Structure formats: structure tokens, C-alpha cells
Structure 1
Amino acid sequence: MSNEPDWSQWREANRAMWDERVPIHAASEMYDQDAFRDGKNTICPFEEEEIGDVTGKRLLHLQCHMGQDTLSWARRGAAKVVGLDFSAPAIATAQGLAEDIGIGRDRAEFVVSDVYQAPLAVPDADYDIVYTGIGALDWLPDIWKWAETAASLVAPGGFLYVAEFHPFTHVLGWENGTEILEDYFKSEPMVTDAPGTYTDFEARTVNNVSFERAHTLGDIVTAISAAGLRLEFLHEHDFTLFRRFAGLVPGEHGFLTTPQGKPNLPLMFSLKASRPAA
């Protein structure tokens, strides 16, 4: 008998939730796919700076959703990008976008797979860059197994890059971002049952149950290190993409941050972890 936990309820509920929301996201102003087709870049400036030149690199994007970030890396010169997501409608949307902007399958390939099964699903055994974009890690039940999976796909001389919302933000209340309301060291899943989505809170949806887990920053970094990668940097940022708290105000590059004169908070983080060259 396997000792593996049964995450089937978690996985299937989340898959149904995301599948239903793909067309809502694709039509939204937030994703603005018309602007993307016209050349809009969706990679954050700090990601571009921290990852550096991707020209000629092979890049794997885990949990890629509709593939706009994935394709943005192709536009920035990556030799081959592969996007992976467990939502078939999201992958179909990504493939359609690639066709619309004239990036063929020799340069951009998208696969439907649970992230834990990525080594069996992606076309190559390893990649120069394994990339996980913003808003992905909370949906994972097991950060340790994820780190092992991601690390196994990093080629010698390559690296894993993660940009993510800071787990500390889970403990703070919506109104001002200063009141402690939740336990930071929470082991049980966060279960949500609410209609709508982050691009349209008023959207009428049916598949509304979802599961998340607030992994601590310590667990994320330790899991990656334990998987055999060497941490190059861990940066914490005082800005974020979404209005996580009511009191945030616009900052540079379209980000949101705390108002001047208020205490700065860690709202996002990014890290790079490498595998030594053979």
C-alpha cells in the first residue's frame, strides 16, 4: 500500500474551479489578451532583471495558466519554452495565443499535466531555467514534493526561479494590512467556497470550492535546498501585483505598496536556486 497522501479531492476541486474560470480570465481586462497579441510583455521588471538574458535558453514554466508569461519569455529570446498546467482549457487558450502571435510549436509547447507529474509530461528531461510565476505555490498541497519535482527538471548549470506573494500576507487582515488575524504556521488547508474570481469578483460561477496551503518562507527555501539546489538569492519586496489589503496605494511599474509614512510590509519574494554545472 502506498504511503502517498490522497490529494484527489484537493486536485479535482481546484481543477474544476480553474477550468471554469479560464474563459472569464481570458476575456478580462486584467489579462488583456488583445494587448498581449499586440506585443504587451507580462513579465515583471524585477523578474527580467533577476533572471537576466534568456536568449538561447530552454525554459520550463510550471503552473503556467494561460501561458502569457511563458510566451513573453519566448518573445524575449528563449530558444524553447514549455508551459505546463493541469487545466486543459488553460492550455488550449495558451496554444491559441501562441498561434495568434506566430510562435510555432518548435519554440513554444504546452502540456496538460499535474505539476507533480511534470517529469513524465514535458518533452525534455531538463531545462536551463525552471520558472514558477506569481500566484502558484499556494495551490500546492506538498511543497517538499514540488521542490523535488522542480529541482529534478533543472539542467546542470541551470536554475530554478520563483516569484511569489509573500506568505506573511496570509496572516494580515484586509482592512489595513496591520492586524494579525491568522496563524502563520498553519498546517491545515485553507478551504474557500465563494463565487467569482480575482478578475471579476461578481462573476457567476458554479465550481467554487478550492483548496490552498500557506507554505512558510522557511519551508519553501528549505525544501528547495533539500532537493539539491544551491540558493543564489532570496529577495523580499515591499510591493505586490494585487490589492491584497485595502490600504495599498499605486507605486512604480503598476505595483501596489503601503502608503508613505506607513510601515513597509513584505508583500512578495523572489528566489533563484541553481544546479552546479556537470
Structure 2
Amino acid sequence: MTDTSAADLVEQNKRHWDERVPINAASSFYDLDGFRAGDEDFDPFQLDEVGDVDGLDLVHLQCHIGLDSLSWARRGARVSGLDFSAPAIRKAAELADEIGLGDRARFVSADVYDAVDALGAAAFDLVYTGMGALMWLSDIQRWARTVAGLLRPGGRLYLVEMHPVSDVLDDASGTAVTGDYFARDARTYELRGSYADWDAQTTHNTVTEWHHTLGDVVSAVAGAGLRIEFVHEHDVIPFRRYGTLVADGTRFRYPDPSRRLPLLYSLAATAV
């Protein structure tokens, strides 16, 4: 794939995400009223693994409408959120003002690979990336170099993401392999509506994803000069990724505790 064609696919993805900002903001999935009232949706393991963020300079890459970004700001971090969707950034900034965090959170519209130029080199103690982000990146090595460029010496990357094995399992059972885990080709497909509202009427429905194995991500982070602290795999996910998953509070798990596959993973790494 040429750089030009990758850029065209990313622009197509941006139109898709721009259109879904008002849909997602109005949905019960995001529940902005609950968020304004103080709700947050971090897994307990995330809070344990990240630790105290009070007083830290934190950047949330691919932040969408900023709910996780602002949740970290509520916990005392000075937050910068970055996303390629200008409508998403406007909504995030609006929410920051509504809940009184406009002085602790700034939001910038830029391509993730331009984050150092947009936000500053070696400017952050923590780079955070939440689930559903890496699949939209065509170049995982360039992403990892960008993360390294944002971090101060001793700063950390913390990533929580859907486990890449989920890309090749069937939607019904979540156990049958239906694809090639090691495939590297971009996947372009039609996606109507939004994961936050499948019935929403949408026009920009063509999207492209890039599959990155767990080894790809770990190797990219290490190759960018960051020291891997841990890679943890988790058996919970915040939504019903497969039809057979069962609710466990606000999370979902496989129904048989003796026959599980990883649903999420988390990774931390340190700038040296």
C-alpha cells in the first residue's frame, strides 16, 4: 500500500467518525448525562495499573469525544486530548467547559502521527490510549515512535485495547476461528450506523481497519526505545463483543470459566 492510498483511507475513516460524533454523543451508550453527573467507565484494573495521576501531564491519543480524558482530569491530571476528528474535539471541549474542567483539559484536532508537533516533544508524564484505537492506525511503528516522542524521561505509556485475537473469532460464539491472525492487509468494509446506535441513519459507511498482533504492538513499543513494564491479558470487556458473553455487573465474560479467551489486554512501558 502506498502512503497516498493510506492517506486516502484515513481521510475516509475521518469522514466516518465526523458523522458519528452527534450520534454517539446523543446515545445511551455514552450516557453524557450520567457522565456530567460524575459517572466514569474505567475498569478497576486500569485504575490499579495506571495508579495516581494527580498532578501529572497526561495525553489521551485518539480521544474521540473525551470522556476518558476528562475522567483522568477529574482525578487530578492536566489532560490533553487529541483526535483527528474536529467535531469530536469540539464536543470534548464543550463537555470540559460544562463540567468545570476547561482549565485542566485542552483538546486538539490533529492526526495522531502529528501529535509531537501539535502538543510538544517530551511534554508528558503519561500517554494513555483506550480501547478501539489501534485498529485505525496504518503504521504501528510510527505510532510507537510518536508515543516515545511525547514522553518525558521516566514517563509512561499505558494502553488498554481489545485483544487482537478477537479480530479472527466469530461474532456468535467468540470461539471459532474465522480469519488469519497473522494477516497484515488493510480491511475495508461497510459499517452502517454506530456501535453506539446501530439504527442511526448514516452516509459515510466505508471504513478501513489495520490488524496488529500482540507481538506487533509489543515489538513496536520496544523498538521505539520504551522499556516494557508488563503486558496483561484480561477476560472481561465493557460490551457484548460476542453473542455468548454473559453480563457480570457492567462487564461481559465468557459463560464457562474453564473455557476462556482473552478479551482485552493492557500494556505499560517507560521512557528511559
Equivalent position of 1:175 in the other structure: 172
Alignment of 1:147-162 (within 5 A): 147-162=144-159
Picking from 88, 91, 103, the partner of 1:90 is: 88
1:29 aligns with 2:28: yes
Tell me the secondary structure at the aligned position of residue 3 of structure 2: coil
Q: 2:256 aligned with 1:269, yes or no?
A: no
Name the structure 2 match of 1:146: 143
* Equivalent in the alignment of 2:229: 232
- For 1:175 and 1:61, how far apart are their aligned partners in 2? 32
- Mapped pair 1:137 → 2:137: no
Distance 2:148 2:181 in 1: 26
Q: 1:247 aligns with which of 238, 241, 244?
A: 244
SS in 2 for 1:240: coil
Displacement of 1:4:
7.2
Runs of 4+ in structure 1 deviating by more than 6 angstroms, as ranges, are none
Alpha-carbon separation, structure 1, partners of 2:66 and 2:191: 25
The residue type equivalent to 1:146 in the other structure is W
Q: Report the 3-state secondary structure (helix = DSSP H, G, I; strand = E; otherwise coil) of the residue aligned with 2:215.
A: helix
- Alpha-carbon contact 2:236-2:253 (below 8 Å) kept: yes
TM-score with structure 1 setting the length: 0.94
| 2:73 match: secondary structure | helix
Query: Which shows bigger deviation, 191-200 or 116-125?
Result: 116-125
Q: What residue in structure 2 maps to residue 205 of structure 1?
A: 202
Report the CA distance between 1:194 and its aligned residue. Answer: 2.6
- Of 210, 216, 236, 2:213 maps to 216
Q: Does 1:111 align with 2:108?
A: yes
Counterpart-to-counterpart distance in 1, 2:129 and 2:262:
19
Q: Which amino acid aligns with 2:94?
A: G
1:187: how far off? 1.1
Overall identity of the aligned pairs, in %: 50
- Cα offset for 1:260? 2.8
Distance 1:261 1:154 in 2: 39
Aligned to 1:46: 45
My pick for the range that moved more, 50-59 or 172-181, is 172-181
CA distance 1:4–1:178, shift in 2 (3 Å) = closer
- Tell me, yes or no, if the aligned pair for 2:122 and 2:153 is still in contact at 8 Å: no
Deviation of 1:262 after TM superposition, in Å, equals 5.1
| Matched-pair contact (CA < 8 Å) for 2:121–2:151 | no
Give the superposed CA RMSD.
Answer: 1.4
Cα shift at 1:18:
0.1
Aligned length: 271
Q: Matched residue of 2:141: which SS?
A: helix
Between 158-167 and 96-105, the greater mean CA deviation after superposition: 96-105
Structure-2-length-normalised TM-score: 0.96
For residues 167-210 of structure 1, give each alpha carbon's deviation from its aligned partner in whole angstroms, at most 9, with x where no partner exists: 00111111111111000011111112131110111111000001
Aligned partners of 1:246, 1:4: CA distance in 2, in Å? Answer: 37
* Displacement of 1:27: 0.3
Q: State the SS of the aligned residue for 1:230.
A: strand
Deviation at 1:126, TM superposition (A): 2.0
Deviations 1:212-256 (A, max 9, x none): 01100000000000000000010000111221111000124x111
CA distance in 1, matches of 2:22, 2:50: 30
